[in-house]
Structure 1
């Protein structure tokens, strides 16, 4: 029996036996309790940052396009963000009402923001020589935010990865996926052991050489190191199933991960599985000078529509080359935080639905309370679809005055709006129901 258990453990964590790992190792998802707690957080900060900030172009993807390869690959030698302050970043996130923070520890260009022993392209090879990942982990712990790590599968710097640049079909002569996966596992072991991240956000899983067998092998190691680490749905090899359906917005039955990740769009209302939309506060993920910033209204309504769809929002900032987050981005985030100080009850720890979000209103719910997020006052009366078998007992502005309403025999609700909404970006109306709002089925149509 002891021999069998040792053999099973070997098959679980061994690098070269990836085909066997896929057969032997079951995908044991993170516990529902942990995932439910993650979804209750609702709002997190995404940070895309690295030496590319010196050029103000997109991280990874501008390599060989806007920035010549030979220039891009030497940027780390100039990278010295002397104004980087982990606590200031974390306090910016906290003041914005964010509950977790995710840093691009390694993007597709292979640069590592921590002093890894397994790559020569890391923060210690810059003039800066400080452990950015470690400092952020410590600051998050100090200020009560969940610390999370973005880690790409592909790595154009690693000689054992098949490709050295985006879009090429030319295979590296030194390609060795077994060695590549071994390095990846070593780097992830460093991250989990040294920084204890709450969640791992994978990306870059689309090259055909990365298979489900590799994903299973890495996943098994992660779950051995930290059984309840949360993992998104971008670890599974895309090449092993129909690419036309893969936009990360769905959590397939065979997913190697815990939640779906729609990108640069708000996910659709989904009560079946957890999801998180990742979106940028401007246009580019990494810092870009004078990049167009989303308006306060758009930012607040994006958060509300995401929660109303039963998802989380991972909202991205791109710090500058000197290590600071732009003041205008900080101010915009603070405006979101100010709104949450008044209306956060309608976001955190809620469920989405039952109404499908639109540009006029959306809804979230908790217990016997239904929160109606009013985005636009088009008429004096806001009419909501019928809630069959449900009665509204009371209605009032969240942290404000009562409002009058009527409910028809079919269950439709007419809310008499104040002449001027207390908050032009999103005013929340609280409806107290005679039953648990979370049990109401999703309403098929919304005004």
Structure 2
């Protein structure tokens, strides 16, 4: 993850490719899990590592690819090599004494989140789990937090969220800019890619493949039940897996095949039905597609999830600006109304704390979800998703349908005698409307607009008593 316009544009091209190349799973257990995942709708993503001590973008400041967005601060090193050395030395000072994953899990549950994806390792290679493959990890004696009883951070996070009934996913970076078998010190790194030709040095590349395979095996076999393996770093792939016309292809320097068939097989040996998300690659190991910081305007023909920051950055940045609760609820409604899930990111700080704004936003989202969640969970979108700031969902058993209408920040109720008109997408099957959060049931007037569209007219009686409707109002259509 990073803040870079070019990258986002490239990723959007890549998601187009994913649409063209999406391959639906055939494993019955994976198909079942994917359907469950589509019911969950709302999850938590966390980017956390040693970089939180400097409050800089995760990993990318050590990548020599683009000076415009790396946030490289000369106070941390006057040259690239000095900066990278000091960055990697953050391992020796990382000591998040306030780390309390139970507090995070409780906040996520209260907000209505159903799954979590945690960064076990980002591109910089620092492992937030007790891997046996490297000493660049949270449990190393070099890391002060290693003496803490909760030193195996990923395990503590997964255990805490499972206790709250929240499904778990492991974010794992395929590229690793710390291991000498990806960025070989013999050559200087030029960009995000492996800095040698794997075909010329197959023994070194095979050592990297084994390293990657063994770390994923550890995560899948030693950290309890896992629902999702969320693989980032889509440039690590066989070059022939994407149409050469796609812009992303130009950023892939060498063939970087890590043998996803072998990785998926070992992962599912320990975790039957596991969703594997080899994001942005567009093959049978990308069980759902993950547009980044984007809101599709129409229904997409494959399972998808928008990953998005609650604040401005993926990782912790001091004084970051958090999106309002109104904007976040609107984002959730728009995504669910167009068939996707929202994976919302929070970045803990160096002490293992969330910003108070994150807790506030989740609490307020949870208040809305407790009233309106039935229009979110276990639903599917209507065939025409958007009409005049309204989004349509229908329960899986088709017993109820919902119209979710966005309200502005200052709107909290509908005035007496107001009329509300929406398109009837359900062919007149429903005869009454209930406003969720109230006991009020309203009759439905059906008519056709001048353009021939079937319409529903909702009339609000005088003294309707409807107050305190925030962010989005949900009309439940009842047969």
TM range (shorter): 0.7 to 0.9
Match of 2:66 in 1: none
Of 334, 346, 352 in structure 2, the residue corresponding to residue 305 of structure 1 is 334
Match of 1:189 in 2: 217
TM-superposed deviation, 1:386: 4.1
Of 407, 417, 420 in structure 1, the residue corresponding to residue 446 of structure 2 is 407
Name the CA distance, whole Å, in 2 between partners of 1:168 and 1:310: 32
Q: Per the alignment, do residues 408 and 199 of structure 1 end up closer, same or farther by CA in structure 2, a change over 3 Å counting?
A: same
Bigger mean CA offset, 406-415 vs 136-145: 406-415
**1:132-178 Cα shifts (integer Å, max 9, x gaps):** 01111221222211121100111111111157757267825996221
TM-superposed deviation, 1:95: 1.4
- Report the TM-score, using the length of structure 2 for normalisation: 0.76
Name the CA distance, whole Å, in 2 between partners of 1:62 and 1:37: 37
TM-superposed deviation, 1:303: 1.0
Name the CA distance, whole Å, in 1 between partners of 2:389 and 2:289: 26
Contact map agreement 2:295 2:335 (CA 8 A) in 1: yes
Contact map agreement 1:160 1:172 (CA 8 A) in 2: no
Name the CA distance, whole Å, in 2 between partners of 1:205 and 1:342: 39
Of 89, 111, 123 in structure 2, the residue corresponding to residue 96 of structure 1 is 111
TM-superposed deviation, 1:212: 5.4
Contact map agreement 2:306 2:340 (CA 8 A) in 1: yes
Of 226, 230, 247 in structure 1, the residue corresponding to residue 271 of structure 2 is 226
Of 212, 215, 236 in structure 1, the residue corresponding to residue 260 of structure 2 is 215
Name the CA distance, whole Å, in 2 between partners of 1:432 and 1:365: 11
Aligned ranges for residues 44-443 of structure 1 at < 5 Å? 44-63=43-62, 65-67=70-72, 68-125=83-140, 126-129=143-146, 130-162=151-183, 165=189, 167=191, 171-172=195-196, 176-195=204-223, 196-207=225-236, 208=252, 209=254, 211=256, 214-234=259-279, 236=281, 252=282, 254-270=283-299, 272-357=301-386, 360-366=389-395, 367-376=398-407, 380-387=418-425, 389-400=427-438, 401-409=440-448, 411-417=454-460, 422-433=468-479
Q: Per the alignment, do residues 235 and 374 of structure 1 end up closer, same or farther by CA in structure 2, a change over 3 Å counting?
A: closer
Contact map agreement 2:384 2:425 (CA 8 A) in 1: no
Contact map agreement 2:193 2:235 (CA 8 A) in 1: no
Contact map agreement 2:183 2:189 (CA 8 A) in 1: no
Contact map agreement 2:209 2:258 (CA 8 A) in 1: no
Bigger mean CA offset, 161-170 vs 55-64: 161-170
Name the CA distance, whole Å, in 1 between partners of 2:258 and 2:130: 28
Name the CA distance, whole Å, in 2 between partners of 1:325 and 1:257: 31
Name the CA distance, whole Å, in 2 between partners of 1:204 and 1:141: 27
RMSD: 2.6
Contact map agreement 1:105 1:114 (CA 8 A) in 2: yes
Relative contact order higher in (CA < 8 Å, ≥ 6 apart): 2
Bigger mean CA offset, 58-67 vs 139-148: 58-67
3-state secondary structure, aligned to 1:79 = coil
Total equivalences in the alignment = 392
- Report the TM-score, using the length of structure 1 for normalisation: 0.81
**1:401-447 Cα shifts (integer Å, max 9, x gaps):** 123431115521122357866413111111124xxxxxxxxxxxxxx
Contact map agreement 1:269 1:352 (CA 8 A) in 2: no
**1:243-300 Cα shifts (integer Å, max 9, x gaps):** xxxxxxxxx5x43221111111124443632111100100100011111110110011
TM-superposed deviation, 1:53: 0.5
Contact map agreement 1:391 1:411 (CA 8 A) in 2: no
Match of 2:4 in 1: none
